[in-house]
Structures are given as C-alpha cells and as structure tokens.
C-alpha cells in the first residue's frame, strides 16, 4: 500500500514564482526533445558549451593506426580527461570499461578500407544498437564532392531520421577527398549542407583563412577535426584558433594519442577548449605535466 502524505511540514507552492526552464544554450539545438538535449549536454560541457572529444575510430577503415595498436593500454587511461570518446562499437564492447560514465559517440558508417574508394560507405550500425550501448551520439562521414556524394548524404539523412526518432544526436563529418581543395568555400558548402540536411553537429577541419565564415554560416555547432600529427604547439594553436573562430570544441585523435605524452596533451587541449588558454601557455602546461610524468617513471 502506498503511504499517505502525513507530513506536517507546511506545503510550499510558491505561487508567486513562475516556473522556469532555462533555454538550451547549444547552437541550433533549442527545438529538440529532452533526450536529445540531455545527450548533447553530456557531450558539450554545459559550463563552457564546449567539448573535447577524443577520436579513436580510425581502425574502422585503416586498421591498427599508430597509437591505437592497443586501445586498452594507450587510450583507456585518457578517458578521464576527455568530454566524450568517439569510437566504434567494436572497440566500445571489447575494450572500454562499462563503468566509464563518459559519453560515447559511436562511428556509424563504414564499408571501404583504405585500399578502396572511401566515399563508397554505408550506414554500419543500427540505431537500436546505439541505444543498447547508451551512446551519446553517432557519427557519419559525408563526402561532399566525392565520388559517392549522394550515397553518403542519404546515409546521413537516414541516420538523422533514426536519430530524431530516438533522441540520438548525429555528428556529420566533412570527409575531404585527397585531391580536393581544403578552403573556406568548400567547408562552408559542406558544413552548411550537412546542417541543412539535419545533422545535430558537424565535425570539420580548421583552415587558416576565413574559418569564422564556416562556423558563422553553419547553424549548428562545429567541432574541429585534428588531422595528421603536428608539433604540439602547432596543434594547440590550431585548436585555439578554431575555438576563437567559433568552433564549439574539438574531436582530435592523432594530435593527442600520437603525442609523446598523450595524457599531458589532452589536458593542454582541454585548457585551450574550456579555458581559452593561449597556445603558448597550454604548451607550458603540456611540458610541465610531461616532466612530472617522466619524473614518476
Ligand atoms: C574522421 O572523422 C575519421 O573518423 C578519423 O578516423 C578521425 O576521427 C580523425 O581524427 P584525427 O584526424 O584527429 O586523427
């Protein structure tokens, strides 16, 4: 039998105070339902509106990439320092401890290996499995200008429909072909198409000239992709410039896990993304942490 409310404490209805619900602050996300917003709030830190996603999904098309040969040894220790991990469901189930409370964003496209035409992708996981795995989002490549452009766009729109049905954010990734020009004109086109066709947020590359026009003309958040390994100061400068240019975070892989000290590097990136730390100061932080780690060995 449920118990009756016999408390003698005075009821507090506060009729003079209107009920409040703060507007959801993430760019372009105000009209989503609660589940979608909650997943986004787990990925983009509500205090800063930014995210440090750690991308370790490279194996889905290129096998055991340098730094990712043993995700259990090299990547799991980095999880406490990221806001979200971007990985495949294979790695999630086999290697990531379910005790982890960090949000997991899952790679949801695949098909061709590096030996074939990469734009020839398909959706490579069911939304039901993403829900079963308690994912905070799914990610998919979109090859604007690529050989299988239309297919990759339809893959994304099908995933967006499923994501909307279940409250699952979809990250559309601008996949740039080897021979394509990486300039603001291209990224404005690709990011805007991905957003217009329904992606919840977009992952794209930083470009030195006019990056702010890419973020300004994209109605949803942009997270910066890392790209190939750079010297630490250059990678931190790129992340800093992207944030100052309107990015809502980063989804970096090789520039973190191929660094001499990935734990130090991810913390330095975090300081840039969440605290607007200048790259030179972030490099000092990296070096200090690296020296401390070396002293402990
Ligand atoms: C790009 O979106 C691919 O999924 C990559 O595997 C990865 O996310 C790229 O990370 P990075 O270029 O920072 O190593």
By the 8 A CB rule, do 165 and 127 touch? yes
Query: Which residue CA neighbors atom 6 of ligand 1 most closely?
Result: 58
Average pLDDT over residues 15-34: 96
CB contact set of 34 (below 8 Å; sequence gap of 6+):
167
Alpha carbons within 13 angstroms on the beta-carbon side of residue 51 total: 30
pLDDT digits (tens, 9 = 90+) for 237-251: 999 999 999 999 999
pLDDT digits (tens, 9 = 90+) for 160-200: 999 999 999 999 999 987 777 889 999 999 999 999 999 99
Average pLDDT over residues 214-227: 97
By the 8 A CB rule, do 134 and 164 touch? no
Alpha carbons within 13 angstroms on the beta-carbon side of residue 214 total: 31
3-state SS assignment for residue 269: helix
Give the per-residue pLDDT at 181.
85
Closest CA to 200 of 241, 243, 140, 113: 140
Degrees (nearest 5) of the Cα angle 199, 204, 207? 145
By the 8 A CB rule, do 262 and 235 touch? no
Closest CA to 131 of 104, 97, 101, 96: 104
Give the per-residue pLDDT at 192.
98
Contact residues of ligand 1, CB 6 A cut-off: 55, 57-58, 86, 173, 203, 225-227, 252-255
Kindly report the backbone phi and psi dihedral angles of residue 104, in degrees, each rounded to the nearest multiple of 5, phi listed first.
-115, 125
- For the chain, what is the mean pLDDT? 96
The catalytic position among 203, 209, 275, 297 is 203
Letter string b/e over residues 255-277, b meaning 16 or more CB atoms within 10 A of that residue's CB: bbbbbebbbbbbbbbbbbbbeeb
Q: For the whole model, what pTM was predicted? A: 0.95
Give the per-residue pLDDT at 237.
98
10 given a catalytic annotation: no
Closest CA to 251 of 28, 86, 42: 86
Give the per-residue pLDDT at 180.
79
Rounded CA gap, 138 and 31, in Å? 19
Query: Which residue CA neighbors atom 3 of ligand 1 most closely?
Result: 58
* 173 DSSP β-pair partners: 141, 203
Tokens 């507090």, residue? 12
By the 8 A CB rule, do 143 and 156 touch? no
Query: How is the chain split among helix, strand and coil, in percent rounded to 5?
Result: 40, 15, 45
Question: Which atom of ligand 1 is nearest to 227's Cα?
Answer: 12
Query: Which residue CA neighbors atom 8 of ligand 1 most closely?
Result: 55
Distance 295 CA to ligand 1 centre (A): 32
Question: Which atom of ligand 1 is nearest to 55's Cα?
Answer: 8
In this prediction, residue 156 has a pLDDT band, given cuts at 50, 70 and 90, of very high
Distance 141 CA to ligand 1 centre (A): 10
Distance 13 CA to ligand 1 centre (A): 51
């Amino acid at each position: 039998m449920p118990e009756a409310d016999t408390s003698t404490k005075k009821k507090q209805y506060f009729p003079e105070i209107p009920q409040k619900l703060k507007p959801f602050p993430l760019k372009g996300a105000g009209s989503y339902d609660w589940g979608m917003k909650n997943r986004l709030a787990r990925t983009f830190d509500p205090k800063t509106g930014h995210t440090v996603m750690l991308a370790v999904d490279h194996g889905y098309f290129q096998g055991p990439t340098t730094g990712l040969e043993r995700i259990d040894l090299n990547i799991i220790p980095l999880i406490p320092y990221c806001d979200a991990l971007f990985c495949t469901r294979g790695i999630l189930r086999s290697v990531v401890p379910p005790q982890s409370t960090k949000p997991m964003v899952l790679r949801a496209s695949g098909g061709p290996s590096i030996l074939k035409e990469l734009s020839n992708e398909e959706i490579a996981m069911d939304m039901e499995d993403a829900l079963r795995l308690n994912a905070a989002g799914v990610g998919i490549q979109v090859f604007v200008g690529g050989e299988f452009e239309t297919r990759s766009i339809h893959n994304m729109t099908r995933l967006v429909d499923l994501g909307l049905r279940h409250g699952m954010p979809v990250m559309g990734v601008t996949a740039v072909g080897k021979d394509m020009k990486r300039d603001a004109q291209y990224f404005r086109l690709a990011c805007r198409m991905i957003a217009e066709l329904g992606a919840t947020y977009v992952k794209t590359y930083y470009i030195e000239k006019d990056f702010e026009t890419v973020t300004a003309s994209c109605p949803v958040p942009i997270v910066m992709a890392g790209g190939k390994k750079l010297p630490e100061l250059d990678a931190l400068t790129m992340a800093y410039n992207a944030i100052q240019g309107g990015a809502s975070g980063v989804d970096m892989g090789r520039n973190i896990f191929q660094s001499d000290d990935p734990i130090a590097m991810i913390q330095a990136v975090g300081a840039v993304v969440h605290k607007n730390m200048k790259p030179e100061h972030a490099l000092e932080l990296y070096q200090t942490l690296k020296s401390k780690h070396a002293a402990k060995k």
